[in-house]
Chains A and B, each alone.
Chain A
Amino acid sequence: MQAVKRVSLSQRISNFLFLRPRLFLALLLLPPILWLGVVYLGSMLTLLIQSIFYLDDFTGQVVREFTLRTYGELFTQSNLDIIGRTAGMATAVTLAAVLLAFPLAYYTTMHATRRSKALLYLSVVLPLWSSYLVRVYAWKLILAKEGIISWFFTQTSLSWVLEGLLRLPGIGGPSLSISPIGMFLVFVYVWLPYMVLPIQAALERVPASLLEASEDLGANALVTFRHITLPLAFPGVVAGSIFTFSLTLGDFIVPSVLGNSSFFIGQAVLSHQGTSGNIPLAAALTTVPMAIMALYLIIARKLGAFEAL
């Protein structure tokens, strides 16, 4: 090959970077790190900063002085109720999601043919990626007082069951579409794919040879499931629970659409930062789900969930 006398700019850049691989790496990383550092980490920082300011009730302005009184406000009864209510719902949703997700994940991994496996995977992934809001809305239709579910209960002469449920204190309400029961159903529905996928991934990683060995050593299907499959799938369960718990803690859409007047954390945050402009309180309140999730993540890591992600 002849040496070219006139070296083009792109060639010169290429040669320059070739001899300096570390510089090239730094250049590659600069935009992502800048963006995430400035935009994301930066705004997280301002979140914390805002939470140590406070809102002056008289002027309605945010006072930029260091104080912990905003955090103190979190301990009022109404705020504690909000937090407890949200955490309780998150727990219930997580448990239900595990119970529902496991059979599907297990079936797909262990019993589905390759063709149907793709189809099953798609039918979990497609709802996941299609519009979240629309999916919540669908349940508003289904759970409506005059809607399908009521019609079904009436047709089977079981409406007394429905009315009984709705009369239960704490979880009942005027209709399914405006009650904690309804919210619970919708939460489970929207977050279910987030639980199915990690469990499925964990189950896929169980080598078939382990199961065969267990059978070979005399264990029946149930015993194999309990002692081999379940413990190995557990990290997937934990991973999925991170999603369902975290998403429920922060959500305001479902409570707004299907809830009554008792607020969840998400609604409280939205309302505080909205018309009243109480960003400090909104920020402080947001740190609660963050703290809960940080704790959860630490525990989850100890339980080995991160390999399942």
Chain B
Amino acid sequence: MIWLIGEFRKHDELADAIRDLRGSGFTAEDIEVFSEEPVELRKGVLDRPSKMSLTAVLSAMAFGSLATWFVYYAQNDYRLRSGGMPYFSFWSTGVITYETTMLGAILAIFGAFLWESRLFRRRHPHAPIPECPPNSMCLRVHCAKIDAEIGASKMREHGAVEVKQCD
């Protein structure tokens, strides 16, 4: 397996190259775009599905429920004279439930960011990272040696300024 790195100056050319490469059998997993600012591509070109929102909601619910259960348990663990006040109060526990729900969401978002960005679980830890010049975008394609020529020609065809091959 080898790496192809193509440098593009225009968004449209980059998007066309990705579309063409995917049409030729390269998967989204094989393709990555590198740039010094976020690159916005149209839907369907190189989607990166995310479960960050869902993770945040589920984690928020879990944290909130656990905190509420914990407060209930703690307030009933050792009964004190409370002057007629309930041991477990919905209203005052509401504040703690709310805050821990939010804490759950915050931690989940951070965790999901680390997971989805692949910062700690790189698919190919030794893959070459393109040195992308300012105002350009680099397309990195992972492919078999046999497909390298097709990949490189597709990139050149769509306006790649330079295409490099790395082992």
Do A and B come together as binding partners?
no
Measured CB to CB, the residues of B under 8 A from A are none
